[in-house]
Structure formats: C-alpha cells, structure tokens
Amino acid sequence: MKNAVYAQSGGVTAVINASAYGAIVAALESRDIGRVFAGVNGIKGILNEELFDLTDEKRSEIERIPYTPGAVFGSCRTKLEKEEDFERLFKVFDAHSVGYFFYNGGNDSMDTAYKIHRKALEMNFPLRVAGVPKTVDNDLLLTDHCPGYGSAAKFTAISIREATRDLKSMYSDSTKVFIMESMGRHAGWLTASAALAGIDQLQGPQIILLPEVAFNQETFLRRVEEVIKADGYCSIVASEALKGSDGNYLSTAGYYDAFGNIQLGNIGQYLERLVRENLKCKVHVALPDYLQRSSRHIASLIDWQEAIEVGAFAVKEVLRGKSGFMVSIDRTCDRPYLKELKCVDLSQVANGTKPLPEDFISEDGFYVSDSFLSYARPLIQGEAPNLFLHGLPIYENMAKVKVRKRL
C-alpha cells in the first residue's frame, strides 16, 4: 500500500489550511492509502527528506487545521530546475513508498506539480499527482475562481469600506485622499473586489486602479480632482501591479523571487507623492500586505467550504486512477450560486495567468462593471466559523512528528 504526501507552496491564503484539512482527512480515511505525510515547507522540505507523519496525529488537532491561518506545514517558493533535484525528489518518494502527491498552490506551484507528473511518467515511477488550487490573485487558468480569493476579497471590501467611512468623517479639514494598495501580481481580480464595499449603496472607493488598464498620470489626477470637487474626498484602491503605457511596472521592490517574478511594492507611496505634489492635499496610504491574504477571522464561508472540498476532491480523483490534473471549480449559476468540481490538465494551467476580462472593467477604466459584481458577490458570502478562547482565536497545535530519514 502506497503512502501520500501533501505540501503547501507559494503565498498563503486565509483558507489554504482548509484545503489541507480536506485532503488530509480524505487520505487518512481512505483504505487505499497507507500513511499520510506533509512536506515541511513545501517541495523544499521534501527535497531535504523532511516530512511530518500525520497518520497518528490527535484527531482533535487535525480538526483545528481549517481554523488556522498561514500554512500549517510551511510553504516555499522553491523552483525545480536541475535534473539532480528531480532525482533527489524521486529517491525520497521511493524511500518512503510515496504513490500519491498533492501540491497546494498557485501558478508556479501548478508548474512544479506538472513537472513532477511528467517526470514520473518518463521514469515509469508509480506516482499520481494532483494540483490543489489556491491563490488570492484568482488568476489560475481553467477555473472559475480560486480558493483563497473569496476571503481576500471579503477582507479588501470590508477594509476599504471602513476606511472610507473614516475618510468621510475627517475630510473637511484633514485627509482628502486615501489610497489602499492591493496585492495582485499580474491581474486585477483582488483589486477589483474593493467595489464590493459599495454593495448596499454605501460609498466605497470612488476609484479602482487595475493593472489591465494602462496608467495615465494626467487622466488619473484629473479624475481625483473631479471626485474631490464632487464629494469632498477621494477613496482609492490601487493594484501593486500598475503599469504605464510602455508596459513597465510603475513601482517595484527591485528584486526577484526564485521563479523570476519581480517583487512589487510601494505603488501607494508612488501615487501619494503624485497626488500630494500636484493637487496639494493631504493623502494617507495603507498597505494591507500579509493581512490581506491571511485574515482568517473574517474568511468567507463559501471560500472556506470550497477550499475543503477541492482538497478532498483531489484525493478522491487520484484514488480513481487520475494523475496530472488540477481541481477546477466550474460555476453553473450565479443566483443561486452553484458549482461543480472538475479535473483539468496541469499542462494547460502551469505558468498561465488569467487577467480580468474587459467586460468586468468600466468603460472609463477607473472602476468595475456590474458583470464583475455579479461574478464576485457570491464568493464573499457567509462567515467561516472560528474557534475563540479568552477573546482570541485558537489554532492547531499538532505534534508534527517528523519521519525518520532513510537517505
């Protein structure tokens, strides 16, 4: 009987551990899987033969996994490139009788999962590989949306809604422009979710700056000035990935990760300086950063439930003999919200990016359309349950016993 390995990769989401829970419980309850391991810090830990054995963990602690933020087993941004990396990886799999591998991540992680699947076929190694999707960026191909997005969208909408209320209270003789920077490396899905703040007609941001729309300084300043004249203040949400007409990022941190992705940042400060120097008004900037992707306490119930489901579905499908796939969410109806889970080929997902469609963007490029609101609204519904003690949330406290190394 073969064993299974689950691992987490890339930036976390508020519900990545819900997917971990779904996959782990399904594997533990299967009669076809021996022991269930978790890679310590993703594929990096597996290469180092660092595995947690979850088989004998207390079930009470397993049950706390989906209530926990971060990545309970650790994550990484390690890229598999060298032949010796693959040789080492499969030696570890062989040494621990691993026949099932579940990789929970985004674009780059799906590329890693695909490479491992392809290598297993080349080597005739008996390994079934499944990609479990997650990303707050919501830009994975061949899926309606990604687990993690709904919760980050909910946080974004609530945060800008509250901050805009604050701004409205103070603008008469203080701050007139508030700018919140949003995550989103290549696509504006998360930035766009700020529009949900005005869902019941209370004012949210008046301007949303998306990476799919080339930034024009003069047009932007003119719009801000118009909004201030009309409302007295201007609330803005801007994507960290804003680009100019030349296609280059407006603001970066100046370094790259292991996958060659430029690290973005400081777009808020860039815009703040632009507004302050040209419009001569007080500006405040907020950078949610990790808070935007890890705020488990206000996670979406729909998102949390779906995250559990995709993890369990991945296990179910590999036990049916499938390999080399990512679990996909196929929406069948907006109202009521209905969906189905399917399998899509990893080769068609790896390293791809899904931008915000044109029909989700307003004609002037400074907001989103009603079509986007209809798309995003179901994904933030409900509040995922939390476990609290003495006023603070409580999380898992597993023993996390490491497997004895054999290599």
- Measured CA to CA, the distance from residue 297 to residue 373 in angstroms comes to 23
Residue 103's DSSP bridge partners are 7, 131
Residue 183 marked in a binding site: yes
Helices (H) and strands (E) in the chain, counts: 12, 15
- Measured CA to CA, the distance from residue 375 to residue 359 in angstroms comes to 11
Q: How far is CA 183 from CA 180, 250, 266, 346, in A?
A: 10, 14, 11, 25
Q: How distant is the alpha carbon of residue 374 from its chain centre? A: 20
CA-based nearest residue to 352, from 117, 110, 119: 110
Residue 107 marked in a binding site: yes
Residue 11 marked in a binding site: yes
Angle at which helix 301-319 crosses helix 16-28, to 10 degrees, equals 40
- How many residues are there in the chain? 407
Query: Any catalytic annotation for residue 137?
Result: yes
Interstrand relation of 234-239 and 252-256 (parallel, antiparallel or unpaired):
unpaired
Residue 135 marked in a binding site: yes
Residue 185 marked in a binding site: yes
Residue 137 marked in a binding site: yes
Residue 291 marked in a binding site: yes
Q: Is 223 helix (H, G, I), strand (E, B) or coil?
A: helix
Q: How distant is the alpha carbon of residue 39 from its chain centre? A: 19
Residue 293 marked in a binding site: yes
Q: How far is CA 378 from CA 56, 150, 306, in A?
A: 38, 9, 12
**130 class by beta-carbon count within 10 Å (0-12 exposed, 13-18 middle, 19+ buried):** buried
Q: Which of 53, 108, 111, 137 is catalytic?
A: 137
E strand segments, 106-202: 128-133, 177-182
CA-based nearest residue to 57, from 404, 311, 401, 308: 401
Element (H, E) at 284: strand 283-286
C-beta of residue 387 within 8 angstroms of C-beta of residue 64: yes
Q: Catalytic residue numbers? A: 137
The binding site for diphosphate consists of 11
Binding residues for Mg(2+): 107
Query: Residues comprising the binding site?
Result: 11, 107, 135-137, 183-185, 240, 290-293
